[in-house]
Amino acid sequence: MEESLFPKFEEVKKTRTGNKMSRFFRHVFEYKNIKKLFGTNLALMLIASSLLPSNITPTQAEDNMIIKEETIQLATKRVVQYPLNHTNISQGYSLFHPGIDLTGLVGEEVRPIKDGFIEAVSNSKYGYGNAILVNHGNELNSLYAHLSKINVFVGQEVSTSTIIGELGRTGHSTGPHLHLEIRDNGVPVSPFTILPR
């Protein structure tokens, strides 16, 4: 009696393996007539699909595969630069000197260290002499002092390629040079925190 129960238990165990969907399809496909029907139909579908003409001709397929080449012009722009082409520092930044002095020849072109707009222009025989204050945004300003000539006006937008003035010796100056100050929120900071080294 135990022998007759054992095979039935194994048959029940075989039908209960897998998830419900796989058990259902396993049960359906175990019938011989369904196997023949699906096998024949699948074979006929494969043969029919290989005989039907495709809508895309080989030349159309090749045309669709061509990748068109575009030429893109890349331009590099300096974000921060020295205001003079050739720079020698004659005096550095300190507690008593809130900027750096750059030596050069009178008339040498001065450019802003960064893009911005002219916030103030001063023409004076004292202190900074002829000076320009450039606003670079984010509370960052740069001051160019002792200029012999000023080429810009208040409110003018300037870039790193704009000639804002010429090096000179106006104001309180012992010789031709450019005094450069960098101000963050109105407080002078070392220009070397921004200028490339």
Written as tens digits, the pLDDT of the chain (197 aa) is: 445 444 454 554 555 556 666 666 666 556 555 556 566 666 667 666 666 666 655 555 555 666 777 888 877 776 899 999 988 999 999 989 999 999 999 999 999 999 999 999 999 999 999 999 999 999 999 999 999 999 999 999 999 999 999 999 999 998 999 999 999 999 999 999 999 87
Strands 130-135 and 109-110: unpaired
- Is residue 31 domain-shared with residue 92, that is, in the same domain? no
190: enclosing H helix or E strand: none
**Per the structure block, which two tokens stand in for 44?**
């006929």
**pLDDT tens-digit readout, 21-41:** 666 666 655 655 555 656 666
Please report whether residue 82 resides in a domain.
no
Give Cα separations from 69 to 62, 66, 72, 75 (angstroms): 16, 9, 10, 19
Please report whether residue 134 resides in a domain.
yes
- Is residue 55 domain-shared with residue 93, that is, in the same domain? no
- Is residue 58 domain-shared with residue 112, that is, in the same domain? no
pTM (two decimals)? 0.62
Distance CA 79, CA 65 (A): 41
* Torsion sign (Cα): 9, 10, 11, 17: positive
- 105 Cβ contact list (under 8 Å, min separation 6): 167, 176
**Per the structure block, which two tokens stand in for 7?**
């095979």
- Is residue 49 domain-shared with residue 111, that is, in the same domain? no
Please report whether residue 158 resides in a domain.
yes
Report the number of distinct structural domains present in the chain: 2
**Per the structure block, which two tokens stand in for 36?**
């023949």
